[in-house]
C-alpha cells in the first residue's frame, strides 16, 4: 500500500469535507484526470487514515488509504486525511493542520451524530459531556497537536480564515501538500466547492455513508450551515462553561487555541 506524501489533519467537523472537495476538484484539473467527481468517489483520490474500529472516528472501509486509485500518476502527490491525534507518522510528510473554534465544532458534531450518523440521542449539553464524542476528547486531540503546530513540516490553517477569504489560505494549503497550481486553477476549485454546489452534489451522491439520512433536513446534511460563530445561537451557558473548564484544564490545548484566536470565551467577547 502506498504511503501518503502529505496529510491534512483535523478534528471532525473542522472543515475537512470542504477542503477535500476543493482539493479533488483542483487535482482533477491540474493533473487532467478527467473525473466526474462527486462526494462519494472523491475518497479514491484523497482517502482517510483515521485508524481502525478502536478509534471513535475511524475510517469506513471504502475510504481508507488502500482504496487510493492514482499511484500510477507519479507527478501527483498522494494526499491523505486524518482525524488521528498527533503520532510519529506525522513527523515525515508535509502536514496541514486544520483548526476550528471548538464551540462551532461541537455544534456541528452534535448534529452530525444525531441527525446524520444516528449514533447519539440526547441534548447538546449531554453530548458535550459524553465519554465518546464530548469535549474532553476534543481537548485531548488539541493537546496532542499543540507541541507540534510549529514543527517545520506543519502548516496551520483555521476554518475561520478560510471562510473569511479562502484564496490565500487555500494556496498555502496546496503548496504545503505539494500541489502546484495556478491562481486561476485555485479560484476555479474554490468556486466548484462552494456551499451551494456541495449541497447539490451531496443531495445527488451522498457522502459515502452506509446509513440513510434525510437529505431534506438541513441539520442532517454533511454540508450543513458552514457558518462561523453559529455556536452562540446553539449552546446553553452551562455547556460553554463546561467547555471553558475543560480547555483551561489543559494548558497545551488552551495555548494552541489562544495562539490562533479560537478560544470560545474570547470569541464571545
Q: Which domains does the chain have, with CATH numbers?
A: 6-268 (3.40.50.300)
pLDDT of residue 267: 45
Count of CB atoms within 10 A of residue 208's CB? 15
- Compute the distance between CA of residue 49 and CA of residue 63 in angstroms, rounded to an integer: 8
Q: What pLDDT score does 39 carry?
A: 84
Report whether pLDDT(261) > 50: yes
C-alpha–C-alpha distance, residues 68 and 49, integer Å: 11
Q: What pLDDT score was predicted for residue 118?
A: 78
What pLDDT score does 71 carry? 94
7 in Cβ contact with 95 (< 8 Å): yes
Please list the alpha-helical segments (H only) found in the chain. 16-30, 102-111, 124-128, 135-145, 159-164, 167-177, 183-192, 195-205, 237-248, 251-259, 264-268
Q: Average pLDDT over the chain, rounded to whole?
A: 91
Percent share of the chain, pLDDT over 90: 77
SS3 content of the chain, % helix, strand, coil (to 5): 50, 10, 45
Query: How confident is the model over 158-203, as pLDDT tens digits?
Result: 999 999 999 999 999 999 999 999 999 999 999 999 988 988 877 8
Say what the pTM is: 0.93
**CA–CA dist 28, 203 (Å, integer):** 21
Mean pLDDT, residues 46-65: 92
Amino acid at each position: 500500500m502506498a504511503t501518503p506524501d502529505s496529510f491534512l489533519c483535523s478534528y471532525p467537523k473542522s472543515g475537512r469535507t470542504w477542503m477535500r472537495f476543493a482539493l479533488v476538484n483542483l487535482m482533477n484539473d491540474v493533473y487532467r484526470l478527467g473525473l466526474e467527481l462527486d462526494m462519494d468517489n472523491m475518497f479514491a483520490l484523497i482517502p482517510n487514515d483515521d485508524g481502525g474500529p478502536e478509534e471513535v472516528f475511524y475510517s469506513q472501509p471504502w475510504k481508507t488509504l488502500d482504496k487510493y486509485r492514482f499511484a500510477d500518476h507519479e507527478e501527483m502527490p498522494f494526499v491523505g486525511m486524518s482525524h488521528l491525534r498527533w503520532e510519529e507518522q506525522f513527523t515525515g510528510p508535509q502536514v496541514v493542520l486544520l483548526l476550528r473554534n471548538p464551540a462551532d465544532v461541537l455544534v456541528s458534531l452534535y448534529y452530525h451524530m444525531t441527525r446524520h450518523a444516528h449514533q447519539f440521542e440526547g441534548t447538546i449539553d449531554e453530548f458535550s459531556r459524553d465519554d465518546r464524542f464530548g469535549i474532553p476528547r476534543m481537548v485531548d486531540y488539541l493537546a496532542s497537536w499543540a507541541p507540534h503546530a510549529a514543527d517545520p513540516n506543519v502548516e496551520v490553517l483555521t476554518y475561520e480564515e478560510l471562510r473569511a477569504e479562502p484564496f490565500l489560505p487555500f494556496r498555502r494549503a496546496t503548496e504545503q501538500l505539494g500541489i502546484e497550481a495556478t491562481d486561476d486553477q485555485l479560484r476555479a476549485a474554490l468556486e466548484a466547492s462552494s456551499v451551494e454546489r456541495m449541497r447539490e452534489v451531496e443531495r445527488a451522491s451522498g457522502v459515502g455513508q452506509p446509513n440513510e439520512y434525510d437529505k431534506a433536513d438541513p441539520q442532517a446534511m454533511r454540508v450543513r450551515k458552514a457558518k462561523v460563530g453559529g455556536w452562540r445561537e446553539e449552546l446553553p451557558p452551562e455547556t460553554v462553561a463546561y467547555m471553558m473548564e475543560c480547555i483551561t484544564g489543559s494548558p497545551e490545548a488552551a495555548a494552541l487555541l489562544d495562539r490562533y484566536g479560537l478560544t470560545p470565551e474570547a470569541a464571545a467577547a
